[in-house]
Amino acid sequence: MEDVKIYKRPRLKNPILIVAWPGMGDVAFKSAFYLIEQLKAVEFAQIMPGEFFYLTGSIIDKGILSVPQMPYSKFYFWKNKTGKNDLIIFLSNAQPDLAKAQSYCEKILKAIKTFNVKTVIGFAAMPQGVEHTTRPKVWFSSTSEELNSNLKKFDISVLSGGQISGMNGLFLGVAKKHGLDGFCLLGEIPLYTIQIENPRASQAVLEAAGKILNIKIDFTSMMVQAQAIEEEINKLLDYLKIGPQSAASAPIGEDEIEKIKKALGQLTKLPVSIKERIEALFIAAKSDLSKANELKAELDNWNVYKEYEDRFLDLFKKTKDKSN
């Protein structure tokens, strides 16, 4: 495949595929990235970006513009010397053009077909009404009742309804269509921190994955990251007069959550891939207003509806003008 560059073809035993892209709390991406680092997984292939991505801007560092870089989509392998399953880890630092997402999934599946992969694992975040100091709960959803029964043994909760948006959810559905089994592990994150990195949730997800795969993972550096981010959030909460002392007496209310979201939103930004997804949904909604519900859900997920409110309402004004 010309658009898949393979450096080497490792001999793997019963490999399981792990996939991840950026998303809320950066839970999926950071989980897979950390796993690659800890296992010292070896890069062996990549999907060339030209067909699925396009340049969106330049990064500035100390006043100097960098040369624009296309997102990467790389495959890594790890040989499990003591267990029965090796791993293939696929990691991309951006989500592809929404219109090409399914063909992107197909490309990944075609690339790993020769390795006889039968199971896929995905990671994701699950925004909940929890606080950043509490231990995140891990949820899961799988492709079969049999897998659900097996996974319940690992003290994780089944997600009985809802949706896993973006590539972290879509890929598992496409993989199931191709006859693969799979499941997604979702780490809880507070509703007011969806736009910032959440190492605590990434750790919870990886701990669950480690138990399921019988793999030992050193979380020392991730715990340090989690502590640092938690301290920064605590400082902000203290500034907003919604600190741990008041939280101890009562849960954080909806008004307070919105206040925290707004404050954190000023310090963070949307991942480039999510901005692209929102723009693609706006384009789709202009020609098919039924897509507006999906667009609104995405804006609400990332707490950015206010920033896009005028453009969103314009969709309906234009439809009304046409009918007149």
Model confidence over 113-154: pLDDT tens digits?
999 999 999 999 999 888 888 889 999 999 999 999 999 999
Unique residue bearing structure tokens 């079969």: 144
Average pLDDT over residues 198-214: 95
Which pLDDT score, from 0 to 100, does residue 271 have?
Answer: 62
* Range with the poorest average pLDDT among 52-56, 120-124, 173-177, 203-207: 52-56
Which pLDDT score, from 0 to 100, does residue 298 have?
Answer: 78
Rounded-to-integer distance, Cα 61 and Cα 86, Å: 39
Rounded-to-integer distance, Cα 175 and Cα 85, Å: 19
* 143, 171, 75, 50: CA torsion to nearest 10: 170
Q: By percentage, how much of the chain surpasses pLDDT 70?
A: 85
Average pLDDT over residues 23-40: 94
The residues, ordered by sequence, that sit 6+ positions from 9 with a Cβ below 8 Å of its Cβ are 44, 114
Domains of the chain and any CATH numbers: 4-224 (3.40.50.10900), 272-323 (no CATH)
Rounded-to-integer distance, Cα 47 and Cα 19, Å: 13
The answer to whether 210 and 217 are in contact (CB under 8 A) is yes
Which pLDDT score, from 0 to 100, does residue 32 have?
Answer: 96
In one letter, which amino acid is 284? Answer: A
In one letter, which amino acid is 251? Answer: P
Rounded-to-integer distance, Cα 133 and Cα 158, Å: 23
More confident: 66 or 147: 147
Average pLDDT over residues 36-53: 93
Phi-psi region of 147 (alpha: psi -120 to 50; beta: other; left: phi over 0): alpha
- At residue 193 the predicted structure's pLDDT band, cuts being 50, 70 and 90, is confident
Rounded-to-integer distance, Cα 229 and Cα 30, Å: 14
Rounded-to-integer distance, Cα 150 and Cα 148, Å: 5
Pairing of strands 64-65, 60-61: antiparallel
Whether the predicted pLDDT of 264 surpasses 70? no
More confident: 304 or 162: 162
> Whats the size of the chain, residue-wise?
324
Burial (CB count within 10 angstroms: exposed 0-12, middle 13-18, buried 19+), residue 9: exposed
In one letter, which amino acid is 220? Answer: T
Interval 69-85: pLDDT, tens: 888 999 999 999 988 99
- At residue 286 the predicted structure's pLDDT band, cuts being 50, 70 and 90, is confident
- At residue 247 the predicted structure's pLDDT band, cuts being 50, 70 and 90, is very low
